[in-house]
Structure 1
Amino acid sequence: MIEETKKVIVITFAAVLLAIALNIFLIPANVFASGFTGVAQLLAVVLPLSTGILLFLLNVPVAILGWLKIGKAFTFYSFLNVALTTLFLEIIPVISVSNDILLNAVFGGVISAFGVGLTLKWGASSGGMDIIILILSRLSDRPLGPLFFILNGLIVVTAGLMFDWEKALYTLVSLYVASRIIDMIHTRHVKVTALIVTKKPDELRKAIHERVTRGLTRIPAKGGYMEDDKEMLMIVITRYELYALQHVIETVDPAAFTNIVETTQIFGLFRKDD
């Protein structure tokens, strides 16, 4: 219960950050966020609905799909983040603190990225594209980064067509800043490889298989200083499963050494049905 309470507090704080980034920096400057949030901003320009309400409506079908295909806990906390973001977007007034569009783009990108990064780090997401990417990652071994690029590219082009190309360029600045901050807090890569050196390989393997639906490889290892026998468990996961894996390792073998490596592409068996 303590862990779940902490998670809800972090997700709530992250929703506040995202709402502040939108209502105080991005929306007044007509600079757009990434993913479904940016889509909601664009739709709010032409539809008689607020960005928060549109963000919520866009995420409802995605949340239903995630509930059926991914898992209840991850989807629940992701949709909770979306619902709280919608609430705070309606509560916090849209005001401009600066007339400098570059400052708005940079600070909006930084603050929103802190919100997204914290959510990812605590085993949830900001909904939308994150849930779609996670579903697709369980169906295909192909790199999924281009999907982020395509959607964000469409947002940038649409912003240029609806307003002017200067706004589109500043949107690119905001997206770049946000991606760098997410890299720092969590990881932008969809897939990562965990190399876990442990003295409790059997217990850890069993616990990982109960919480993370991925195969792993066991490699004999020997300590370089003590020369004691160990094993290295190698597992490729999505970034959304990193929180669950970290929690399992800390629970079963806190003394285990874990190295997380960025994975750009994989070949062979990875999907859930394999």
Structure 2
Amino acid sequence: MPTRFFKIRKIGKVEQYFFLTLGVLAMAVAYYFFVIPSGLVVGGSTGLAMILNRYIPTLPISFFSLVLNSFLLVMAFFFLGKQELLNSVFGSLLFPIFLALFEVLIPDPTFRESDLLLVILYAGMLAGVGFGIVVQYGGSTGGSDIIIKIVKKYTKLSLRLSVYFVDGLIIVLGALTFPGGLNQGFINLLYAVVMVYISGQVSDSIVMGSQSKKAVNIITDKPKEIKAELFAMLRRGVTELQSFGGFTENKKTMLIMVIQNTEYHMVRRIIATNDPKAFVFVTPASEIQGEWSTKEEVFVKNDESGRFKNK
């Protein structure tokens, strides 16, 4: 993959919430018109809501989704902090609201059983696009993402293994409780796994290509401000190098940082806020070795020196 150059652009609150709403709407459409009618449990709090609806069919899935998401928001506040709550509350509450609107306006969106392959294809792409937009604009859909982050925080599991553990458990429960029996439930499980894979690939492409990690190179006149916010928001290490302009011979500072795809939007916003004129280029990061891939560095500010140090 070639090096990716981008022009940093600030976004306003109106634009941010417009696209967050659009992303959540795309996810709600994918679930209500494709996933739910097919009976596929593809993980997440919506998957749990579908399972509960099988035992209490008098209550709609949107109700269970709202209750579960509200409960998980409370957990986010106590286990992950206020910032995680603020990041998740909009998407967590808007998603079940969209489901409820669809339940009223279009109460019977049905698909034939033979359409399952098309269902997972279109649902996976649409849900992936929606989730990618939400992440790109600094939001979160909450739900099982909150459980995943709690599991990651209080266990030694990596983020990827935490996702497999939580969503995998929900998918298996969906197969075991499928009304058509274990045989059809197992078939649905296989379809669900494929849809989750499609959705993940699409959302990764929306956020930042297909690579799981990227190296961000920032040439800036304001390294202290950018570093401070990167440490505070991402809690990852940053390498600092001195550089010189080949033509101007002006002295600059170059910051190098390896990030996850889902952290890309945050890095862009931090740079745009502190130094809109910074020169930035992003490249795929592979063959990563050392502590980065096993644990996140946590930095705390020393009140006396003003520097950051390992906690």
The TM-score with structure 2 as length reference comes to 0.74
Q: What is aligned with 1:103?
A: 118
Of 39-48 and 223-232, the range deviating more from structure 2: 223-232
Q: Which runs of 4+ in 1 moved over 6 A?
A: 188-191
Q: What is aligned with 1:57?
A: 67
Q: What is aligned with 2:24?
A: 15
Cα pair 1:142 1:266 within 8 Å, conserved: no
Cα 1:35–1:222 change in 2 (3 A) is farther
Q: What is aligned with 2:88?
A: 78
Structure 2 stretches lacking a partner, 5+ long: 1-10, 179-183, 301-310
Secondary structure in structure 2 of the residue aligned to 1:95: coil
Secondary structure in structure 2 of the residue aligned to 1:171: helix
Q: Any idea what the Cα deviations from partners look like across 1:78-118, whole Å, max 9, x if unmatched? A: 22112111111011134025551111111111111111111
Structure 1 counterpart of 2:200, from 175, 179, 189 = 179
Percent of matched pairs sharing the same residue: 27
Secondary structure in structure 2 of the residue aligned to 1:172: helix
Structure 1 stretches lacking a partner, 5+ long: none
Larger of the two Rg values belongs to structure: 2
Of 224-233 and 36-45, the range deviating more from structure 2: 224-233
Q: Any idea what the Cα deviations from partners look like across 1:130-157, whole Å, max 9, x if unmatched? A: 2344456566775220111122322332
TM-superposed CA distance for 1:225, in Å, is 6.2
Q: Any idea what the Cα deviations from partners look like across 1:37-69, whole Å, max 9, x if unmatched? A: 222222222234322222222222331233345
TM-superposed CA distance for 1:204, in Å, is 2.5
Give the whole-Å Cα distance in 1 for the aligned partners of 2:169 and 2:45: 12
Structure 1 counterpart of 2:293, from 250, 266, 271 = 266
Of 127-136 and 163-172, the range deviating more from structure 2: 127-136
Secondary structure in structure 2 of the residue aligned to 1:186: helix
The aligned amino acid for 1:95 is P
Is 1:154 matched up with 2:150?
no
Give the whole-Å Cα distance in 1 for the aligned partners of 2:169 and 2:296: 32
Give the whole-Å Cα distance in 1 for the aligned partners of 2:155 and 2:297: 8
Give the whole-Å Cα distance in 2 for the aligned partners of 1:11 and 1:212: 21
Cα pair 2:132 2:206 within 8 Å, conserved: yes
Give the whole-Å Cα distance in 2 for the aligned partners of 1:47 and 1:40: 10
What CA RMSD, in Å, does the superposition of the two structures yield over aligned residues? 3.1
Cα pair 2:214 2:282 within 8 Å, conserved: no
Q: What is aligned with 2:41?
A: 32
The TM-score with structure 1 as length reference comes to 0.83
Give the whole-Å Cα distance in 1 for the aligned partners of 2:148 and 2:285: 17
TM-superposed CA distance for 1:169, in Å, is 1.5
Is 1:256 matched up with 2:279?
yes
The aligned amino acid for 2:98 is F
TM-superposed CA distance for 1:213, in Å, is 4.6
Cα pair 1:74 1:124 within 8 Å, conserved: no
Structure 2 counterpart of 1:42, from 51, 54, 57 = 51
Give the whole-Å Cα distance in 2 for the aligned partners of 1:173 and 1:269: 30
1:194-209 equivalent positions in 2, closer than 5 A: 194-209=216-231
Secondary structure in structure 1 of the residue aligned to 2:138: coil
Cα pair 1:109 1:175 within 8 Å, conserved: yes
Give the whole-Å Cα distance in 1 for the aligned partners of 2:262 and 2:204: 14
Of 159-168 and 192-201, the range deviating more from structure 2: 192-201
Give the whole-Å Cα distance in 2 for the aligned partners of 1:95 and 1:66: 33
1:177-256 equivalent positions in 2, closer than 5 A: 177-186=198-207, 194-209=216-231, 212-223=234-245, 228-236=250-258, 241-254=263-276, 255-256=278-279
Secondary structure in structure 2 of the residue aligned to 1:114: helix
Secondary structure in structure 2 of the residue aligned to 1:270: coil
